[in-house]
Amino acid sequence: MKIWAKNSRNTDGGSNEVTNAVEKVDAFTVGRDREMDELLAEADVLGSLAHTRMLESIGLLTSDELESVQSELKNILADIRRGEFAITPGIEDIHSQVEWILTERLGDTGKKIHSGRSRNDQVLVDLRIFLRHEIASIVRSAKRLFDRLQTLSEEHKDVLMPGYTHMQIAMPSSFGLWFGAYAESLADDMQMMLAAWRITNRNPLGSAAGYGSSFPLDREMTTRLLGFDSPDYNAVYAQMGRGKTERIVAQAVSSLAATVGRLAMDNTMWLNQNFGFISYPDTLTTGSSIMPHKKNPDVWEIARGKCNLLQALPGTVAMLTTNLPLGYNRDLQLLKEALFPALQDMRQVLEMAEMMLAHIEVKTDILDDPRYAYLFSVESVNALVLKGVPFRDAYRTVGAQIEAGEFRPEKQVHHTHIGSIGNLATAQIAALMEATLAQFGFEKVEQAEAELSGVLDSGIIE
């Protein structure tokens, strides 16, 4: 069924050739859209719950019609949450499916629900609702990884490890410093996610096909009912948000993926026998078909690969949307195929990273190995400077000792400034994260959706 059909026939009828052509066009243009649309099912029903309440408030539905529509929409929502909902073969998309069900059950009343909206703003609001759920889920997964890193940072704050520049032995570091670095990076990534949330959490419903409506729509009402922070005010701009919203979300995901991908790389490297800084239980690594000594970090390698692909996501979105003319274009449908699986990958990578780190074991005597003696060259230079020796003279003195093979450092560190080995600033980093998280307002959205659906636990934002 196509809700845009002018009559009850979906083809020009007649010949097999025409029917075959219509089927090919349908298969090509729809593609994976029905599959992607099933992920939007809850969002679509929530949007319709708000829209129909607004229609009743402006006289386009009677109170009895509203009651019946709301009841059936909530029945559909319950089916979706039980996993008993699917788009029927031959139905074009999620919007058509919901309207078809309502029309089957309610007759002409079901045909009224599309008044004052277009599939353009309907899919826009579905995407905004869906994306804010995805952002909330990703943020909460990132917070769990952040907490794990913070805990590990404190647990291992006194365990030294080598620091590198140019992949050369450089200066002493610590596991506390290493874990804490990734925690702070996640805190910054949440700033990007917050920006994506703020752009996403605006209401495009009521912009119709991109030019508004002659109905006296109450857009502030639907904004309030759906828990959005504000409308997208200009109807044309609301439609321009298709692609822009996805690009901003993709950029936030890309930033987060860069952090986790780098963490994955460190783990694969430190597990390597040439380093041997960390280990994992056999259950979290894989073996070789011919080399019995192998413990391969496959989880981290897959995580690294997925994160590399996720960092390309903004480019994919940009290439799909570059130079499109104003208004809706069917190309935009393909954004779902690029973005939806990527969001799932991001959540999964975060969850696996946290699980792996819950079982990490760190080596506590790494710097006893003589190969790491040069790590302390700067410590020795600084010790001379503290005794009054000019820095350049101290540098030359220690350099000469190294060249002569006479360098015998004291393997101790005395770092006390904020953010150093001896002062990790764990509490300050936690405060950064908490200050950002407090700005999302997930609870407002949860409450709005719960009230709209009549279910205390909306089941969408975990």
Q: How are the residues of the chain apportioned to helix, strand and coil, as percentages rounded to the nearest 5?
A: 65, 5, 30
**Claim: this prediction has a pTM higher than 0.85:** yes
- The band of 37, judged by pLDDT with boundaries at 50, 70 and 90, is confident
pLDDT of residue 451: 95
**Segment 407-441, tens digit of pLDDT:** 998 888 889 999 999 999 999 999 999 999 999 99
Q: Regarding predicted confidence, which is higher, 353 or 273?
A: 353
- Residue 457 confidence (pLDDT) above 50: no
Residue 55's CATH number: 1.10.275.10
CA distance 107 to 171: 75
Residue 459 has a pLDDT of 45
Other Cβ atoms within 10 Å of 226 Cβ, number = 24
Residues 92 and 160 in one domain: no
Q: How many domains does the chain have?
A: 2
Whole-angstrom Cα Rg for the chain: 29
Judge whether residue 11 has pLDDT over 60: no
Domain shared by 70 and 126, yes or no: no
Across 320-338, average pLDDT: 87
Render pLDDT for 40-65 as a digit per residue (tens, 0 to 9). 999 999 999 999 999 999 999 999 99
Based on the fold, state whether residues 334 and 448 are members of the same structural domain. Answer: yes
- Report the alpha-carbon distance of residue 151 to residue 27 in Å, rounded: 51
Kindly state whether residues 32 and 147 are assigned to the same domain.
no
Can you tell me the mean pLDDT for 327-336?
Answer: 87
**What DSSP string runs through 245-268?**
HHHHHHHHHHHHHHHHHHHHHHHH
Query: Between 19 and 279, where is the model more confident?
Result: 279
Please state the φ and ψ torsions of residue 128, each to the nearest 5 degrees.
-65, -45
Q: Which residue range forms the structural domain that includes residue 301?
A: 119-367+425-453
> If pLDDT is split at 50, 70 and 90, which confidence band does 29 have?
confident
CATH number for 133: 1.20.200.10
Write b or e for each residue in 381-399: b if 16 or more Cβ atoms lie within 10 A of its Cβ, otherwise e. Answer: bebbeeeeeeeeebbeebe
Segment 358-367 shows an average pLDDT of 96
Give the CB-side neighbour count of residue 169, counting CA atoms within 13 A.
Answer: 16
Model pLDDT, residue 288: 66
User: If residue 230 lies in a helix (H) or strand (E), which one and from where to where?
Assistant: strand 230-231
Tokens of 292: 């019995």
Percent of the chain with pLDDT over 90: 80
Specify whether 83 is located in the same domain as 131. no
* C-alpha dist (Å) from residue 247 to 128, 316, 328: 13, 9, 16
pLDDT of residue 8: 52
**159 and 174 Cβ atoms separated by less than 8 Å:** yes
Q: Are 298 and 185 contained in the same domain?
A: yes
Whether residue 52 is found in the same domain as residue 189: no
Q: pLDDT (tens digit, 9 = 90+) per residue, 383-412?
A: 999 999 999 999 999 999 999 999 998 888
Residue 7 — pLDDT band, cuts 50, 70, 90?
Answer: low
Q: Are residues 326 and 431 in the same domain?
A: yes
Q: Which of 111, 139, 167 is the last residue of a domain?
A: 111
